[in-house]
Copies of this chain bind each other. A is one copy, B any other.
Amino acid sequence: MSVTHPKGFAAAGLEIGLKKSGGKDLAIVHNLGPSMAAAVVFTSNRAKANPIIWSQQVIADGIVGAIVLNSGGANCYTGAAGFQVTHATAEAVGLKLGVSAGDVLVCSTGLIGDQLPLDTILAGVCAAELSATGGEDASLAIMTTDSRPKRAVHEGAGWSIGAMAKGAGMLAPGLATMLVVITTDADLPSDLLDAGLRRATRVTFDRLDSDGCMSTNDQVSLLASGASGISPDPEEFAAALTAVCADLAAQLQADAEGASHDIVIETVGAANEDDAVEVGRAVARNNLFKAAVFGNDPNWGRVLAAVGTTAAEFDPYAIDVSINGVMVCRSGEPGDSRELVDLSPRRVHLLIDLKSGAATATILTNDLTHDYVHENSAYSS
Contact = CB atoms under 8 A, between A and B. Distances in A.
B46 A79 contact: no
A47 B297 contact: no
B213 A74 contact: no
Given A212-B287, A287-B211, A316 B46 contact: yes
A114 B376 contact: no
Number of identical monomers bound together in the oligomeric complex = 2
B379 A316 contact: no
B78 A378 contact: no
A368 interface: yes
B334 A113 contact: yes
A377 B291 contact: yes
A76 interface: yes
Given A211-B287, A291-B372, A304 B216 contact: yes
A291 B115 CA distance: 23
Nearest to A43: B308
Nearest to A301: B112
A333 interface: yes
A45 B379 contact: no
A229 interface: no
A291 B375 CA distance: 9
Given A213-B288, A288-B213, A294-B377, A309 B45 contact: yes
Interface in A88-136: 111-115
Interface in A210-265: 211-216
A121 B78 CA distance: 61
A189 interface: no
A332 B77 contact: yes
A14 interface: no
Interface residues of A, number: 65
A45 B174 CA distance: 25
Contacts of A309: 45-46, 174, 214
Contact of A304 (B79, B112, B317, B378): B112
A60 interface: no
A359 interface: no
A48 interface: yes
A309 B170 CA distance: 12
Contacts of A195: none
A8 interface: no
A291 B76 CA distance: 20
Given A211-B288, A295-B377, 8 more contacts: A76-B305, A111-B299, A111-B301, A112-B305, A113-B304, A212-B286, A292-B377, A338-B380
Across the A-B interface, the 9 shortest Cβ-Cβ residue pairs:
A112-B301, A295-B377, A47-B308, A79-B333, A291-B376, A45-B308, A46-B308, A113-B301, A291-B377
28 contacts: A45-B309, A46-B309, A46-B310, A74-B301, A77-B301, A77-B316, A79-B332, A79-B334, A111-B299, A112-B305, A113-B328, A212-B285, A213-B288, A214-B309, A216-B305, A287-B368, A291-B376, A292-B379, A294-B373, A295-B377, A295-B378, A295-B381, A296-B381, A297-B380, A297-B381, A370-B370, A370-B373, A373-B373
